[in-house]
Chains A and B, each alone.
Chain A
Amino acid sequence: MSSKNRYEFLNERLNLSRRSFLKTTAVGSAVLTAGGLVELKTAKQARAFAYEPYPKDDQLQTVVTSCAHNCGSRHMLVAHKWKDVVVRLSTDDGRYQRDGYFGKDDRVEPQLRACLRGRSYRQRLYSAERLLYPMLRVGERGEGRFKRVSWDEALDFVVEKMNHIKNTYGPTALLDQSYAGASFGVLHKSDQIEGLLARFLGMFSCRTSSWSVPSYQGTTASSRWTFGQTEDGNEDDAFAYCKLLIMWGWNPAYTFHGGNTFMYMRKAKQNGCKFVVVDPQYTDSAAAYDAWWIPIRPNTDAAMLAGMAHYIFTNNLQDQDFINRFCQGMDAGTMPVWAQQQGMENFKDYILGKYDGEPKTPEWAARICGVAAEDIKKLADMYANTKPAALKASWAAGRNAYGEQYNRMAAAVQTMTGNVGKLGGSAEGVGKVWHAEAVAYPYDQYSNIWFASIKSDRWAHCVLNYPNVKREEIGLWQRDDATDGQIPNIKGIFWQGSDWFNQLTNINKEIAAIKKLELVVCMDSTITPSGLWADVLLPVATHFERHDVALPWYKGHYYIHRPKVIQPMGESKTDFQIFTELAYRISPVFGRDFNPKASRDYWHIDDNVDETYLRDWWNNRVMPHQGVDMSWEEFKQRGVYKFKFPRPLVAFQDQIEKGIPFKTPSGKIEILSSQLALIKDWKKTMYGYEIPAIPKWIEPWESLISPKTAKFPFHLISPHPRWRTHSIFNNCGWLRETYEQEVTLNASDAKRLGIKQGDIVEVWNDRGRVVVPVYVTERCMPSVAVLHEGVWMDLDENGVDRAGNPDFLTLDEPSPAGAFAYNTVLCNIAKTDLEHRPGWDKLATSRAHVFRRDL
């Protein structure tokens, strides 16, 4: 630079004319800021939150509400509002409960802190994917082309079609595929069995119900048979009292299943509890609790548990007193007379190989499950000799072919060691114990009317093969009238709070089936991959936009008030409003009966009616039934009611301590199930196929010990992701930033296939084909591939899913008890030149990938 230029350059920048100004102010600013390092002619003092306006929390309106979706927990969200806009969300900090204060957080009343999904709620609430107006399909079904229409047009369209379908095809023609995905509250309830849609279609007298629950049908079946109820769990604070906790396929660090489960488990660890993880993956739960990782081949859990039972029996480590007092069919001595007379098998002799000449030794189990016999023995020894010890048998291993056998085997092992009904032990299973008063919506004889009921993942099979379908193929529920065994003629589907088209098994078969329907209605707050296949999209207000009360349905004991935080966006209406109005359009009587506290004005003004339902529920049910002394008004003002229990709730404590009978037919823990033992004609049950009366290992139709591995050498599992609740939140950029949809492979497998980190692969079997990036790791068992469920499908012109939805590969073959076989999948994997489509504008945030990419 020439010296002349240089002086000009400096003269421009140096504060020559302002020296006096700087001299006086620089002292203060120098200390506070850059130490006098900077010369600015336009001197500005740096300060916090210089952006205006930056509203601080205390300058905003604070509204307590909760998250809503289908994780089993309901954590608190606190909206900080400016006018009708949620500016930010925080969560429970101890202030909102009675006698609360900032930071209050103890065992009895812990804070209900929301997870990453809940914290991203503003992105769902204000997402570009929100449905704001009713839409009618204009293209081919599945093409995704819609036009905006008025509510009148949309509702009249639906009513006309409903009437036509019912009159033409009869009372089984409309399939209820509601689910707890979008609207699980005490009033605005979407639910598979008894929600608002069930009531609506039932009262309309045209409803085929879907009875098997995708999440945990194997587990609930097992708990009902074994313990007589699904409430087999302990409240989450009970985990703090475990001395040994075996997390069997359980990853609470991903699911956040239960209010503060993971935190109480940390307390257990600090109290010296030892942790074991039996899982094909070394999960984050395994890491956080420093667990002994036992990698196991998917869908072989019952075999390993049988091997443990063998070790326990042959070393006489079982709690024989407990068995003698509480069990039916655990061994010869606990067999009921009727079963002995019929020469039925008991569990111990099955394990010892008395019936089939095959003792279920740890060595036998090792050949099936891939866990060394020594490790099986060691774990069995630890479990039998540590008191109390919790075997937490998760749902995941039950989402398998014969998943119910795994859950029943686990229940048998829990029982033989005397860990049922004891603090620090566990009979889970399902895992629920505390009962919320869950129903504020109208609940009467119309609540669950159905004319046919099928296994939920057999609808496509039913539609495609009607009328040449056998009842056992679709798990038809028995009826007491002449229609028993009648195959439903399904011609329409309703989705309410449900993305089932994306979430059930064998999507390609669903695609073939849906083309045969005459009406597909989707009611949701955002567009969903299911919605793209609908004929009509009805925009539903989120739980931020209507009045309700949240309840946890898994663990946790509290209610959280959900006021109408903001006005419904666009033209969205609540589910309850939509059904009420549809009912009125069908007939005024229907409308009045469907929503007895409302008039037809409910379509326009729902506040007073919803308030009445909720207040009545609180005053007539919660307060008297649950000993709550907080008034409805106080509850509304505070936003949360936390129940306080003198001791952690433990399922079956009364049965064990006070001798109260179990709710099974025998009053015992039924290792031999009376119900199953007495079934003669399996085809006439909803199971369709035989289920052994005692827990047994049954080889699944696809697994790593199958000869099918010659063609499809990988076992695919599809666990729940942390960054979505099933498919909800898949569209949130903040969450997308924390993960990728990718298939996890063990490093040795990847090496063998010439695949390295970041390669794009095809994962396929005879049912479908998906394209995803690979995550190569040592944390996954060899020959196992992991692909998280719930990603929004994205088909290319050849029917290949470029988004990587594992349900293109799953089989729509449920277990006899109804368990979805989500994790019973063999597949193959190879590198591909096809592009993965993450369904989100990655280039827009590529910087995060290139420079700051985590995970």
Chain B
Amino acid sequence: MKFQTSLFHYIVFLSAALAGGSWVLAGEIKAEQYEHARWHPMHFEPAIDQATDEQCLSCHREILDRKVLDQSPAGVKASEALAWYQTLNTYEGPQETFHRRHLVTPLAKNLMDMKCTTCHQGNNPREEAPIPPDVAMTDFTLRKMVDPETCLMCHGRNPYERMGLPGPWAESRETFQNNCLLCHAGIRTNRHRVNYLKAEAIEELGTKDADICYGCHGGRQWYRIAYPYPRHAWQGMGEEVPEWAKDRPTESQPRFRITQEQASK
């Protein structure tokens, strides 16, 4: 995994930021300037699209610095807690905070390439909703600073019915030799080729262990619906579009599309 340590990012982008001179970093902001900092253009479209993690973290560094409690007030030790999804063999290390799990822990570093702006797209904290309110603009969801639809991309329900499985994967996995690739070796979309994932690493690990696939596609299914993934064409894809896929786009949202530079890594 070259060029992937956060530290390296920091150095690269710190230099860039200082050279560019247009961005504010925490060190330049005094406490009494909080009001100005809070409304810095970097927090909003379009500048936020260019914001680097290093810039974000220079103020919001508690996102990575803060650790979970060693033990809860009632004495539950973090080291002895284990959620079911944490038994997956990609999941390792001590209990961590949500942000660290998405940015700096091994799973995050190995399989994902998430940035602050992957989820945080910036909005006016004074605006509860777009003006006028618009049901289509779900990125404003009444006080969530992150659109839950973004989370749904990985944390949705496993739509086993659509895959023609007899039951939920937990029940039918034995039938399919606990091997997703039994079917998906042929039915392959390129949907991992998005800029917040590391497609090759995922593919490679997926061949070794179906739990890797399941870990996202239903394993950590916080939500009760599946994400309506874009229907990327793949070689050998049937001509007929099934009913449930009819309205789906054929590409990821532009901001998730992979650039040439990233693709060559």
Contacts and interface: CB of A to CB of B under 8 A. Distances in A.
B31 A843 contact: yes
Contacts of A836: 35
Interface in A41-66: 41-42, 44, 50-51
B204 interface: no
Contact of B106 (A1, A842, A854): A1
Contacts of A337: none
B33 A835 contact: yes
Interface stretch (B10-18, B70-78, B171-179, B237-245): B70-78
A850 B125 contact: yes
Interface string A1-37: 1000110011011100000000000000000000001
B34 interface: yes
A385 B106 CA distance: 75
Nearest to B86: A13
B87 interface: yes
Contacts of B39: 757-759, 773
Contacts of A853: 125-126
Nearest to B90: A1
A33 to B, nearest CB: 13
A44 B81 contact: no
Contacts of B34: 842-843, 846
Interface string A834-855: 0111100011001001111111
A760 B36 contact: yes
Given A1-B106, A757-B39, A852-B143, A40 B124 contact: no
Interface string B61-92: 00000000000011111011111101101001
Contacts of A852: 143
Contacts of B79: 12-13
A10 B87 contact: yes
A143 interface: no
A850 B59 CA distance: 11
Contact of B92 (A6, A775, A843, A850): A6
B225 to A, nearest CB: 19
A38 interface: yes
Nearest to B75: A42
Nearest to B62: A847
A40 B74 CA distance: 13
A12 B80 contact: yes
A775 B84 CA distance: 47
Interface in A800-855: 835-838, 842-843, 846, 849-855
Interface string B29-56: 0011111101100000000000000000
A654 interface: no
Interface residues of A, number: 38
Contact of A37 (B73, B84, B125): B84
B203 interface: no
B124 A757 contact: yes
A842 B33 CA distance: 11
B81 to A, nearest CB: 6
A79 to B, nearest CB: 28
Contacts of B200: none
A850 B86 CA distance: 30
B125 A6 contact: no
Given A50-B74, A835-B35, A854 B143 contact: yes
Contacts of B86: 13
Given A851-B145, A855-B126, A40 B32 contact: no
A375 interface: no
Contacts of A38: 81-84
A39 interface: yes
Contacts of A854: 128, 143
Given A1-B106, A10-B87, A760 B35 contact: yes
A654 to B, nearest CB: 49
A167 to B, nearest CB: 48
B32 A42 contact: no
Contacts of B33: 835
B82 A13 contact: yes
A741 B83 CA distance: 45
B89 A6 contact: yes
Interface string A771-812: 001010010000000000000000000000000000000000
A10 B94 CA distance: 11
B25 to A, nearest CB: 17
B143 to A, nearest CB: 6
A757 B127 CA distance: 10
Given A1-B92, A836-B35, A42 B76 contact: yes
Contact of B80 (A40, A758, A775, A842): A40
Nearest to A855: B126
Given A12-B80, A775-B126, A835-B33, A849 B89 contact: no
Interface in A624-665: none
Contacts of B124: 757-758
A41 B76 CA distance: 8
Contacts of A851: 145
A50 B76 CA distance: 13
A40 B61 CA distance: 31
A13 B80 contact: yes
A855 B124 CA distance: 11
A477 B157 CA distance: 79
B47 to A, nearest CB: 13
A16 to B, nearest CB: 12
A39 to B, nearest CB: 4
Nearest to A773: B35
A41 B80 contact: yes
Nearest to A776: B126
A791 to B, nearest CB: 15
Contacts of A37: 83-84
Given A37-B83, A44-B76, A758 B126 contact: yes
A399 to B, nearest CB: 28
Contacts of A42: 75-77, 80
Contact of B38 (A1, A10, A775, A849): A849
Contacts of A773: 35, 39
Interface in B138-173: 143, 145
Nearest to A34: B83
Contacts of B143: 852, 854
A835 B35 CA distance: 7
Nearest to A838: B35
A786 to B, nearest CB: 15
A835 B39 CA distance: 12
A10 B36 CA distance: 48
B213 to A, nearest CB: 19
Contacts of B35: 758, 760, 773, 835-836, 838, 842
Of B80, B81, B87, B128, chain A has the most CB atoms within 10 Å of the CB of: B80
A852 B92 CA distance: 31
A773 B125 CA distance: 14
B145 A835 contact: no
A778 B131 CA distance: 10
A44 B74 CA distance: 8
Given A849-B125, A854-B128, A14 B31 contact: no
A838 B128 CA distance: 22
Of A6, A51, A835, chain B has the most CB atoms within 10 Å of the CB of: A835
Nearest to B38: A849
A646 B81 CA distance: 65
Interface of B: 31-36, 38-39, 60, 73-77, 79-84, 86-87, 89, 92-93, 106, 124-128, 131, 143, 145
8 contacts: A1-B106, A12-B79, A37-B83, A39-B81, A41-B80, A42-B75, A42-B76, A849-B125
Considering the complex of A and B, which 8 residue pairs feature the smallest CB-CB distances, nearest first?
A758-B39, A13-B82, A853-B125, A41-B80, A1-B92, A39-B82, A37-B84, A835-B32
Given A10-B82, A838-B35, 11 more contacts: A1-B92, A13-B81, A13-B82, A41-B77, A44-B75, A51-B73, A757-B126, A758-B38, A835-B35, A836-B35, A852-B143
